[in-house]
A and B are shown apart, each in its own frame.
Chain A
């Protein structure tokens, strides 16, 4: 019984217990903060990587793409209906992106997609800016530039299509503050469509509710990676300095089925900026331009072309995106689709041209993880690194606790002698100090978890506060991490394992001093000064 009694007594009266608790508290808080932020970071990267891709991709090994994708898609749907949900062709190529008004050019990864299908494969739609506030208005089809005007009172009037879409968003948005923010400014500083005088004869900025609402020639739409087009301001918000519908252009280099550049000058493709896509991964958002796949196919001469012998070539794409039925195992599905493709190639072998056969042979099935291998590997490496760092932190904590308990035992040697002199047994003394350590670990982890959790929950406010003192103190820059906010979610899992480790570490730290304390002869302890 004396163990319980003395542990509670020592906890309340010994200053050194406070040191032990403080050490555990700090270690626990530190580990919780690191795990939460790093874990949140890794989770976000992973889920965003997933959000970029379809589950499986039949990927061309070469830029000129592969043919017979439609035929294979049909065969897949027949042969593996329980595995494959939907497929969609896509084209990848390189291009030079240009904003004519600014004479701004940049290297771009051009993706041809069927947007209606593409949004079913991944989180693409979530990252679209205008589509969020004006649902249903983003399309890659041919379109004119939408224009808005000012009515007689000087209020902005949007084209009816936009106003209706925005009303739909307002109805579905539950957060009042988001709506208020939207009304206060255009979202993220985005300008409205060009505001133009319609009836030049009446007033400069007059708005005709009956239209016309469009201006300029019809052009295909392009969705541009947000970081490709825009920079962030100091608050981390994007400065959308060109209007929706503004002219942009892509220069492309068409390749023949054998991969030779076609003998024409590069294709110049005028487009309209209809939306921007923010996946949250900077490497993607600073490079990608999304356009309609059929249009791109045509301009890259991947559509049927007349061959020298008068026959027509087969259309080519560089990817066939494949979404799986719910609950299907990814690696399993990969194997089955891959073997289906190999069978398909074998069946077609005698009908296809030599070039087509080569291109088909090069195509392979990959999972979204394979596609994002580089990033995911980096993420996993970082995770191991973090685990090692955490292990070192834990080790330091154990050593620290060991020292603290050694100190405690040292200071209590005389008391141990007294306890033994009145009949306490070695095991009792040892278990008393171990219990003491466990109690210190327990109290420390409660405090540490509380402090750590509060810190993590408010980490963004904390950073904002620091940044207000001095902008240099902003450690988490959205430019660097392409996240607007530091991850601030605390997982109960993490709390559970950290608490367990902290208590075990306290016990481990106290084990040697406790066992030593238990074994001394009373006289040794009593003569100890």
Chain B
């Protein structure tokens, strides 16, 4: 890859100190090209979430450098990192993490509100709202705009979270076990959506411990013992997963 969207080099991360120190990442190198659908797999507790958080600048690596479009992320100042989180990446969490007091629509709009000043928001509120509604329609949530997160099913909550991650049109979507808490059918719907987004040009890095889910991606990397290894992803496996994805369209 000549010009990857995202490039991580020698990422180290450990938790705790002294005897209690856990070295989770020990020199992870990773690249993602624009338009790619990358899956990171690995056993539970191997540090997949830790890696994804570092990629999304939600956390700092102890060592190593992360570049986005050739620009350093981890060593950038906090303001730059905040704007990186706001505009360049969208993050989908395993546990959705929606704000409970806000409606579905408001939750999706939050990154936009963060982007705009008070007056900027007053000028653009209508347009932003229209975009959010359109996005939610695409997620099949047009009937749930005014609902609170707790009134939604897990799948609906995760789709809301995806809409929130996408509202500022980020170049990169990071998804941490997006189906981890969903049953197979709802999980399939969510995965279908991700596939569809990817076909429309969205770069996605998805973390999962489920090989079947990972099979949907273009490329798979495996994280274990603190480093990633490339894994092939035969076309046959992808085709086998097709039926899972078709459910979205119906």
Contacts and interface: CB of A to CB of B under 8 A. Distances in A.
B101 A424 contact: no
B78 A426 contact: yes
Contacts of A423: 82-87, 111, 114-115, 168
Which of A4, A423, A426 neighbours the largest number of chain B CB atoms within 10 Å of its CB? Answer: A423
Interface stretch (B55-63, B152-160, B199-207, B232-240): B55-63
B101 A422 contact: no
A422 B58 contact: no
A421 B85 contact: yes
Contacts of B121: 1
Given A421-B91, A423-B115, A526-B93, A9 B110 contact: no
A182 interface: no
Nearest to A526: B97
Given A9-B102, A418-B97, A422-B86, A1 B91 contact: no
A116 interface: no
Secondary structure dominating the interface of B:
helix
B118 A1 contact: yes
Interface string B134-147: 00000000000000
B53 interface: yes
Interface in B76-106: 78-79, 82-87, 91, 93, 97-99, 101-102, 106
A246 to B, nearest CB: 78
Nearest to A525: B58
B150 to A, nearest CB: 12
Nearest to A428: B114
Contacts of B209: none
Interface string A13-32: 11000000000000000000
B242 interface: no
B117 interface: yes
Contacts of A425: 78-79, 82
A526 B161 CA distance: 15
A1 B116 contact: yes
A92 interface: no
B16 interface: no
A417 interface: yes
Contacts of B93: 421, 526
Nearest to B59: A523
Nearest to A5: B113
B18 interface: no
B70 to A, nearest CB: 21
Nearest to A522: B58
Contacts of B83: 423
A249 to B, nearest CB: 82
Contact of B101 (A13, A420, A426): A13
B58 A415 contact: no
Contacts of B222: none
B110 A2 contact: yes
Contact of A14 (B60, B101, B120): B101
B85 A2 contact: no
Contacts of B78: 425-426
A400 interface: no
Given A521-B60, A522-B58, A523-B58, A415 B99 contact: yes
Given A423-B82, A523-B58, A526-B97, A1 B102 contact: no
Nearest to B164: A422
B48 to A, nearest CB: 13
Interface in A202-222: none
A5 to B, nearest CB: 6
A419 interface: yes
A423 B86 CA distance: 4
Contact of A420 (B85, B87, B98, B102): B85
A2 B82 contact: no
A414 interface: yes
A424 B97 contact: no
A523 B91 CA distance: 12
B97 A414 contact: yes
B110 A421 contact: no
A421 B58 contact: yes
A497 interface: no
A233 B87 CA distance: 80
Interface in B171-185: none
A365 B241 CA distance: 107
Interface of A: 1-2, 4-6, 9-10, 13-14, 414-415, 417-426, 428, 521-523, 526
Interface of B: 53, 56, 58-60, 78-79, 82-87, 91, 93, 97-99, 101-102, 106, 110-111, 113-118, 120-121, 164, 168
Going nearest first, the 10 A-B pairs with the smallest beta carbon separation are A423-B86, A1-B121, A2-B113, A523-B59, A422-B111, A522-B58, A423-B85, A425-B82, A1-B113, A13-B101
Given A10-B101, A421-B85, A523-B53, 18 more contacts: A1-B117, A1-B118, A1-B120, A422-B85, A423-B84, A423-B86, A423-B87, A423-B114, A423-B115, A423-B168, A424-B82, A425-B78, A425-B79, A426-B78, A521-B60, A522-B59, A523-B59, A526-B93
7 contacts: A2-B114, A6-B99, A9-B102, A414-B97, A422-B110, A423-B114, A521-B60
